[in-house]
Amino acid sequence: MHIITSKTLESRRRFLRTLAASGAFYSVSGLLAEALTLTPRQTQGPFYPLAKNIPLDKDNDLVLLDDHLTPAKGIVTYVSGRILDSKGEPIRDALVELWHTDAGGQYIFAADAPRNPKADPNFAGFGQFLTGSDGTYQFRTVKAGLYRGRTRHYHFGVTIPGQKSRFTTQLYWNEIARDEAGNVWGTTNENDGVLRGVRDPAERAAIIRDFTPVPDGAAGEQQTIFDIALGLTPIEPPYPGAEDGVLVVAGAPTGNGPGGKPRFKLTFPAQAGYSYEVYADPTLGKLGWAALPFAISAAEKVDRNIHTATAEGGLELFVEKPSVKGFYHVAFRVPGANLGTPGEMRDGPGGPGGRPPRGPGGPGGPGGPPPGFGGDAPPPPPQ
C-alpha cells in the first residue's frame, strides 16, 4: 500500500511547480518537432463509469478520493500533455477524462451498485480536467492494474468546444507487462487485440509511451507525457451575455454550510438545458482548473458536480473550496453535449465505444476475458 508522506506531498507540489516554471509542455517538442501524427481513435470500452459510479470528487487526482486519509494502492503515476488540433495548435477548454483499473485490475464501473465493491475503496477510478490556454492537462493517478485479455492501459476521453461527443483513445506502457509474481502477462502490447487494431506504425507509437521515474519524487513514482492530437477543429461557443463569452464568477462568502465548512456562492444567468460545472483557480491560466463539487442551495450539503438548468434565470451554486483571488470558472455544456455518461455504448458490440464482440478475444470467447472481465459487473446487453 502506498502511504502518504511529507515526501509524497512535496513531490506532488514539485511536479506542479515544475510544469508551471519550466514551460516543459509549452515549447515545440515531441509530436510537433516532426510531422504531426494524429492520435488514433480507440474504443471507449464497456467500463466507462455510469453517472452513479463517477465520484463526487472527480478532479484530476485519482490517488486521493474525497476526504479519505488513505491513498489508493499502487505506484503513483503522473500523466501530462496537451490537447492539440490537426495543425498542432493547443485547444483551450477541452474536457479531458481519464478512467482505468485500480492496481488490482478492477474498474469502478458497476451496473447494479454505486461502484464496484471489489475496487480499491480509496481509488477514484475516474477524473477530469479542463485545459487552459496552452491545451495542457495533468493527472495524478496509479499505474493501471492488469486483467485478463488486455495489456496495461489507460482510457482517455476528450470533448473539445463545439463537439457534443467525446473522442476516445487509450494509452499504453512501453513495457513487457508482468504480474505481481514477475511472470510475463498473457496479453502484451504485441498481442492485445485493441492495440493491434492500430495498423499505422506512427499512430501506434503515438499511444505507447515510456514511463520514467519522477526526479526527486517519492520511491517508485513514475511520469510520462502524452499529447493527444485530434483531427478536429474546436468551435468554442460563447456563453450568452458573458464577457468574452466565458463564465468567470466571483465567489461571495456566505457563512458555513450544513457540514460546518465555509461556503462561497456563485451567481450567474442560467440557460435552459445547459449543464454547469465549477472549476477552481482560473487565475492559474496555462495550467487549467480542477473540478469542484457543489450544492444548489445554501441549506443543502455538497452533493453534485454537474447541474442541468431547467429554465432561464439566475442560478446559484455553492462551493466549499476557496479559489485563488476568489474567482471560479463555471464551465457549461450545451444541450445534447457529453454529460459524463457512456452514451457511445449504444453503438453496440464491436462499435465505437461498444463492448468487444464475442468470440476470440471477446468476453467469454477463447483466449478472451470472461464475461464481466476484471471482476466488474457483466457488460451491458447489446443495444
Reading the block at residue 137, the C-alpha cell is 492537462
Residue 22 dihedral angles phi and psi, to the nearest 5°: -85, -25
Q: How many CB atoms lie within 10 A of CB 205?
A: 12
Q: What is the pLDDT of residue 13?
A: 52
pLDDT category at 324 given cuts 50, 70, 90 is confident
Query: What mean pLDDT is predicted for residues 117-129?
Result: 97
Residue 80's beta-bridge partner residues? 138, 225
Per-residue pLDDT at 338 exceeds 80: yes
Q: Any bridge partners for residue 319, and if so which?
A: 264
pLDDT digits (tens, 9 = 90+) for 138-195: 999 999 999 999 999 999 999 999 999 999 999 999 999 998 889 999 999 999 999 9
Predicted pLDDT at 14: 53
Tell me the β-bridge partners of 169.
Answer: 156
Give the model's confidence band at 10: pLDDT under 50 very low, under 70 low, under 90 confident, else very high: low
375 Ramachandran zone, left/alpha/beta (phi>0; psi -120 to 50): left
The pair phi, psi for residue 283, each rounded to 5°, is: -75, -5
Question: What mean pLDDT is predicted for residues 21-38?
Answer: 51
Give the pLDDT confidence score for residue 124 in this predicted structure.
97
130 and 288 in contact (C-beta within 8 Å)?
yes
What average pLDDT does range 71-82 have in this prediction? 96
pLDDT of res. 194: 97
3-state secondary structure of 71: coil
Q: CA-CA distance, 363 to 361, in Å (whole number)?
A: 7
Render pLDDT for 251-285 as a digit per residue (tens, 0 to 9).
999 999 998 999 999 999 999 999 999 998 766 55
Kindly report, residue by residue over 197-229, the tens digit of the pLDDT. Answer: 999 999 999 999 999 999 988 889 999 999 999
Please, are residues 97 and 28 in contact by the beta-carbon 8 Å criterion? no
Question: In this predicted structure, what is the pLDDT of residue 365?
Answer: 33
What value does the mean pLDDT of the chain take?
82
Question: Which residue matches cell numbers 473522442?
Answer: 167
In 3D, which of 173, 136, 141 has the Cα closest to residue 22? 136
DSSP codes of every residue in 2-49: ----HHHHHHHHHHHHHHHHH-TTTSS-GGGGSSPPPPPP----TTSP
